[in-house]
Amino acid sequence: MADNTTVTVETAKKLGLLPEEFEKIKGILGRTPNFTELSIYSVMWSEHCSYKNSIKWLKTLPKEGPHMLAEAGEENAGLVDIGDGLACAFKIESHNHPSAIEPYQGAATGVGGINRDIFTMGARPVAQLNSLRFGDLELDRTKWLVKGVVKGIGDYGNSFGIPVLGGEVFFDEVYNTNPLVNAMSVGICNADKTISATSHGVGNPVFIVGSSTGKDGIHGATFASDDINEDSAKDLPSVQVGDPFQEKLLLEASLELAETDAIIGMQDMGAAGITCSSSEMSAKGGCGMDIQLDKVPTRQEGMVPFEILLSESQERMLVVVKKGREEEVNAIFEKWDLNCVEIGVVTEGNQLRYFMDGDLVAEVPADTLVLGGGAPVYEREFKEPAYFAEAKKFSIDQIEEPTDLRAVAESLMQNPNIASKRWVTEQYDSMVGTVNMSTNGPTDAGIVNLKGTDKALAVTVDCNARYVHADPEQGTAIAVAEAARNISCSGGEPSAITNCLNFGNPYVPEVYWQFVGAIKGMGEACRKFQTPVTGGNVSFYNQSNIGGKVEPVFPTPTIGMIGLVPDKKKGTTIPYKSKGDLIFLIGRSQNDIASSEYLVGWHGVRNSPAPHFDLDEELQLQASLRQLIAAGLVRSAHDCADGGLFVTLAEKGFTSGFGFDITTDSELRPDAFLFGEAQSRVVVTVDQVREGDFVDLLANAGTPFTLLGHVTKSEIRIDDQAFGDIQDYAEWFHNSLAARL
């Protein structure tokens, strides 16, 4: 071979491979790999690509459901049948490490990559969502990260032309060094015209399409599988550079290609670039490939084989074309002014052979590189951390009741984890594409109009990482339940999930314990809601290593969920509709302030259990709520989440300008009733003339409910005490975050 570079176990270690993995590679090849081959294995066996420390537990998640068209891991994204001949492709992924080093491009390319996963399957993206975590807002670096990430998401998404329909932003000091940037994309396609990420047919040509290849993103997958430390800025070349206008052209060309039957398969070039797409497509199709690297269009001179193979330059895809249909494919990409270059051919067997100027520079078996093939699988040790048992000792009786509940309410409205994220969302285009139905009135889930049908799609992302840290199993079950609750509150029926699992170092037993607990909780909740896991992303090593002090982020298993609104005319919005409407709480309040923003922000207590939660109660609540909505018995609905009941009641008034007059439960502490975050609760409003029907339905179902009070013109009253005007709370709510940035 042309690459005669001497490699040793030290070379392998520098590329992120373990000594035993280096020995395994030598065993596979029957020889010592050259540097190019070792680089191939280093990225494909990195945590980011191989899931070697997580796949054992990921396999325990439910993957089957009545609407599934592709099981987890089969394709670039999850694929679910939504009826009327349509399918929904959706996925969420992280771009955490790149965003920590270069927030603008890190976030922008995260958006670009997740959208490519969708349209590579032949689906047109119709909605984007994101879940963002940042550190202490008092720090200049946090402000820099927030501004860079938000601008990156906004600039790329707005230029690409896909509306942002939902998301979340959370602040805590554990994210000071390592922010989390999770991007989700949702697309719609004809169920019979999807494109698979596969390769087969000996002699079929292999094309690279889209942008030219540069040196950006080389070893990006390896970079994503390491800690953030003082030297991470030196890894800046590992951050890719995006071009949303090029991606828009690639989208239209890909969808035009999907209308033909000229291709065998197509895959986005994300992590590990040509290496990943060529190996995964070949392994799936049970074939090999010969790739001529010198034919790859490059934008920098003198690129050597491993750079071309590992580059993560954006807006590129690998396409396997049916032999004899080359000109048809060429014509499509020429029309859109994009590269479309034949760089290889499908071969018999399973060998991937890469050539440069006629010289063979690397030869590896495709199936030895991929998840489910020869990639290593590990079972890591896990151990319950000391803080978990300590948190269980918490009692509400340890916390002194505040004498001024109104002061607490005003403070919570200005808490950055509760206050409006309008400063963020106003930088995103939510109207482009004319499918966003959430503009008819704010809803708990984003609503996508399925034109030509009576239905709509409901989409959401959710995770309260504080709950997951307190109790990984219960906290993750809550994340699934809250996602489902947001869809149910909007009139939808939960269908399936994707996940983005953000954790620290899997080699730390206490961190791996969090991961295992999260998977168990997710699996239990998804089986209960019959929402199979369609795929997603695992992101380990989300921690700082500054001055020898290692600090992981909160375990953050972000849940992206889709659901179907069977009758879009009956979709339910958040705001109060009329003065005098009755306000009901469906569900049961608890004497519980554990892990609440009130407990952390007002009392400074950071270690407590997860809030009260019962999966069966949650299931019954949501079933009853959907029945109420279908029967037209509620005028508005909003789930009770961060900040508790008071925040939920106030948020319902911000758009309409109405206030509320309620009575607390005398059997509970007032602060727990108003600010506790016990789960499985929804606030609805009911026209007084429909009260009897409303009460009868819930009573027959055995679902607990409480009449709280009624909607007022604008004043807020609790137990006959004046709490101010809704407009004052709206002012604090809408402007607090911007004032701190």
Catalytic residues: 48, 95
Instruction: Please name the residue ranges forming H helices in 557-614.
Output: 597-603
Nearest to 113 by CA among 153, 70, 170: 153
What is the 3-class SS of 417-452, one letter each residue? Answer: CCCCCHHHHCCCCCCCCCCECHHHCCCCCEEEECCC
Q: Give ∠ CA 251-47-314 in degrees, rounded to 5.
A: 25
Nearest to 5 by CA among 352, 365, 305: 305
533 - beta bridge partners? Answer: 497
Report the distance separating Cα 683 and Cα 647, nearest Å.
11
Report the distance separating Cα 623 and Cα 640, nearest Å.
16
The conformation of residue 403, written as its DSSP 8-state character, comes to S
The conformation of residue 213, written as its DSSP 8-state character, comes to B
Counting every residue, how long is the chain?
Answer: 741
Residue 451 · residue 435 · CB < 8 Å = yes
What tokens does 151 get? 């601008």
Backbone angles phi, psi at 84, to 5 degrees: 55, 30
Nearest to 315 by CA among 219, 205, 241: 241
The radius of gyration of the chain's CA atoms, rounded to the nearest angstrom, is 26
Cβ neighbours, 10 Å, residue 716: 24
Cβ neighbours, 10 Å, residue 308: 26
Residue in this structure with the two tokens 């929402």, named with its chain if needed: 531
The three-class DSSP label of residue 211 is coil
Residue 98 · residue 239 · CB < 8 Å = yes
Nearest to 496 by CA among 87, 24, 191: 87
Q: Give ∠ CA 279-282-287 in degrees, rounded to 5.
A: 135
Which are the contacts of 14, defined by CB distance < 8 A and separation ≥ 6? none
Which are the contacts of 22, defined by CB distance < 8 A and separation ≥ 6? 9, 12, 13, 38
Nearest to 568 by CA among 452, 486, 399: 452
Residue 644 · residue 677 · CB < 8 Å = yes
Cβ neighbours, 10 Å, residue 649: 27
State in Å, rounded, how far the first CA of the chain is from the last one. Answer: 56
Largest Cα span, the chain: 85
Cβ neighbours, 10 Å, residue 396: 18
- Amino acid at residue number 50: S
Report the distance separating Cα 303 and Cα 615, nearest Å.
55
The DSSP secondary structure of 173-206, one letter per residue, reads GGGSSS-EEEEEEEEEEETTS---S---STT-EE
Q: Give ∠ CA 633-635-639 in degrees, rounded to 5.
A: 100
